[in-house]
């Protein structure tokens, strides 16, 4: 892992990353020459309007897809060097993911949803149960362990998804527009919770948004437009 002068280490790196999608005859340039380093402990926002490449970049960092060219390093590993089995276990051990639409199993309770990733890595039942309970308590849902998603509000569902990402104790959590389906007040509560976890659990977060109010909670902002990094847009003049 790269050490910086200030002692913090580089947890993620994109080196000259390009991604194209082929749609019949048309080639879509989703990412062009992206260079980005994320240090441990950051709470980084990817900002840009719809179509700017935020989801594509998060999917590459999250090892859900591979770049067309360039390299992606996660926790010091060049992920192109892992075959699909190695990549799956690396991803399970290192990375948590939170989605805009929560992606919870509708028939499972909050606790069962949070237990699910531990079921995949064969954690014993008693430990699974305890850790799920602990994670749900950590996000303020101690009283909702047995509720199914349809018995929870949008904000509560996203808290379940946060607990599910957290329960694996990942180094990094990626969140793709985690507040896009929430009202303003709930959006800020959810982001504030993520920020608290960033500090208390020492988990690095990279999240995407196009909401300027949410952006103000980031420790750093990476602005994107048309698949490229762009400078911060000028702040509107105060009167
Ligand atoms: N699976 C895909 N196939 C073809 N084009 C895609 C695909 N996913 C994304 N794109 C295109 O890539 C560009 C970036 O998309 P995306 O990463 O989803 O942006 P954002 O998340 O910022 O809205 C857009 O032009 C989008 O239409
Ligand atoms: Mg997107």
Residues 56-76 pLDDT 10s:
999 999 999 999 999 999 999
Confidence of residue 2 (pLDDT cuts 50, 70, 90): low
Q: How far is the CA of 238 from the centre of ligand 2 (A)?
A: 30
Q: Is the pLDDT of residue 233 over 90?
A: no
Please choose from 17, 21, 26 the residue to mutate so as to test ligand 1's pocket, defined by most ligand atoms within 8 A of CB: 21
Rounded Cα distance, 88 and 8, in Å: 27
- In this structure, the residue with its CA closest to atom 14 of ligand 1 is 53
pLDDT at residue 183 is higher than 80: yes
pLDDT at 6: 55
Please tell me the predicted confidence (pLDDT) of residue 219: 96
Ligand 2 centroid – CA 234 distance (Å): 23
Distance 31 CA to ligand 1 centre (A): 9
Residue 204 C-alpha to ligand 1 middle, in angstroms? 25
Ligand 1 centroid, distance to 53 Cα (angstroms):
6
Instruction: Please determine, looking at this structure, whether the domain spanning 42-66+80-229 carries the CATH number 3.40.50.300.
Output: yes
- Please check the confidence at residue 11 and state whether its pLDDT lies above 60: yes
Please name the residue whose Cα sits nearest to atom 17 of ligand 1.
53
Given ligand 1 and candidates 17, 25, 28, 207, which is best to mutate, with the most ligand atoms within 8 Å of its CB?
28
- The protein residue whose alpha carbon is closest to atom 2 in ligand 1 is 21
Would you kindly state where each structural domain of the chain is located, as residue ranges? Answer: 42-66+80-229
pLDDT of 4 higher than 90: no
Which ligand places an atom closest to the C-alpha of 65?
1
Any idea which ligand is nearest the CA of 68?
Answer: 1
Task: Determine what percent of the chain is predicted with pLDDT higher than 90.
Answer: 85
For residues 36 and 220, the answer to whether their CB atoms sit within 8 Å is no
Pocket of ligand 1 (CB under 6 A): 21, 23, 28, 30, 48, 50-56
Q: Quote the mean pLDDT of the chain.
A: 93
Mutate to test the pocket of ligand 1, among 19, 22, 30 (most ligand atoms within 8 A of CB): 30
Ligand 2 midpoint to CA 50 (Å) = 6
């Amino acid at each position: 892992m790269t050490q910086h002068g200030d002692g913090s280490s580089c947890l993620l790196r994109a080196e000259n990353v390009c991604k194209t999608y082929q749609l019949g005859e048309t080639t879509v340039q989703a990412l062009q020459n992206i260079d980005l380093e994320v240090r441990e402990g950051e709470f980084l926002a990817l900002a840009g309007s719809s179509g700017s490449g935020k989801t594509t970049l998060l999917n590459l960092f999250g090892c859900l897809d591979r770049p067309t060219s360039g390299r992606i390093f996660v926790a010091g590993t060049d992920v192109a060097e892992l075959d699909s089995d190695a990549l799956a276990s690396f991803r399970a051990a290192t990375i948590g993911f939170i989605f805009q639409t929560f992606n919870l199993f509708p028939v499972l309770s909050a606790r069962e949803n949070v237990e699910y990733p531990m079921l995949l890595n064969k954690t014993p039942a008693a430990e699974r149960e305890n850790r799920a309970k602990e994670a749900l308590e950590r996000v303020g849902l101690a009283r909702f362990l047995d509720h199914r998603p349809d018995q929870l509000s949008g904000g509560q569902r996203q808290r379940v998804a946060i607990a599910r990402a957290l329960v694996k104790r990942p180094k990094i959590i990626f969140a793709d527009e985690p507040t896009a389906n929430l009202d303003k007040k709930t959006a800020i509560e959810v982001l504030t919770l993520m920020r608290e976890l960033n500090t208390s659990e020492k988990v690095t977060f990279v999240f995407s948004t196009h909401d300027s109010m949410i952006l103000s909670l980031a420790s750093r902002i990476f602005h994107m437009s048309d698949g490229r990094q762009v400078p911060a847009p000028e702040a509107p003049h105060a009167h």
